Structure 1
Amino acid sequence: MTATSHSAVDCAEFILAALDWLEARDDLTDPTAIDDAFDLLANQRRRLFLEVMTTYEDDLTLPDVAEEVAVRETDTAVAELSADRVAETYISLYHDHLPRLVDAGLIEYDQERDLVHPTAIRKP
C-alpha cells in the first residue's frame, strides 16, 4: 500500500469537482475554450494576478500588482521584499502574464498610465 500525499488528494478532489462543474454546464460547447481557460490557470503567477484583481476589484497600477503578487508568492511582508524581486515580478507580468490575461478578456491594460483594470472578475 502506498501513501497518498495531502496535495495529491487535494488535486484529485479539485479535478473531480472541475469535471463535475464542466459536465453540468450547457454553455461550454467549445473544448478549446476549456483548454485555454485551464492553460491560463495553470500558472501560479497568473492565478495570483487574478486573485489580486479579485481582492481589490478596482484599477491598480501594474507596479502595485507586481508588489502584491510578490508578497503572495513569498509570503513576505512588503517591507521585507527586495526591489529586485518586485522588478522581476513586474517584468514577468508585463511581458508574459498580462498579455495573456488581456487577450482572454479578463484584464484591460492602459499602457500610458501603467494601469490594469479587471473586466470579467468578480468576487466568489
Structure 2
Amino acid sequence: MSPAPHSEPDRAEFVQAVLDWLDEPTASAETIDDAFALLSDQRRRLLLRVMRTYDEELTLPDAAEEVAIRETGHGVTDIPAERVTEVYLSLYHDHLPRLVDAGLLVYDQERDLVAPDGI
C-alpha cells in the first residue's frame, strides 16, 4: 500500500521556500538554528501569532487565554479554567522568557503585561 498523498501540498512548497531563503547568506548558521529552535514549539508560535494579531500589549492571562483558544479550537467558555492556567504557567515559566531573551517580546512582570518587540 502506497502512502496517501499529503493533504497539505503547501508543506513541500514551504520547505522549498525556506531552503531558498536559507541559500541567501544573510544569517549565520547559529542564528538560523536559534530561530528554528524558537519556532519549533507550537505554543511559542501561537503566542507570537497572538501578539502579531493584536499588535499591542496584553495581559499575560489574556494572551494565555487566546493561546488556549487557538490550541483547542474552542471558545473560551468551552475551555476548562485549568487548561488556561496550564497555558499561562508554561508561557510564564518557559516560553515567554525565551521569546523575551530573543528580543521578540517585552514583558513587564510587575503589571503582568506582554508586548510585541520587533514582531
With the length of structure 1 as denominator, give the TM-score of the two structures: 0.89
Residues 1:5 and 2:6 are matched in the alignment? yes
The CA distance in 2 between the partners of 1:17 and 1:6, in whole Å, is 18
Q: Which residue of 1 aligns with 2:37?
A: 39
4+ aligned runs moved over 4 Å, structure 1: none
The CA distance in 2 between the partners of 1:14 and 1:2, in whole Å, is 24
State the aligned residue count: 118
Q: Which residue of 1 aligns with 2:17?
A: 17
Unaligned runs of 5+ in 1: none
Q: 66, 79, 87: which one pairs with 1:89?
A: 87
Counterpart amino acid of 1:13? Answer: E
The CA distance in 1 between the partners of 2:6 and 2:55, in whole Å, is 35
Q: How big is the shift at 1:87? A: 0.1
Superposition pairs of residues 59-98 of structure 1, within 5 angstroms: 59-98=57-96
Q: Which residue of 1 aligns with 2:26?
A: 27
The CA distance in 2 between the partners of 1:67 and 1:5, in whole Å, is 32
Unaligned runs of 5+ in 2: none
User: 2:115 is paired with a residue of what secondary structure?
Assistant: strand
With the length of structure 2 as denominator, give the TM-score of the two structures: 0.92
Q: CA RMSD in A?
A: 1.4
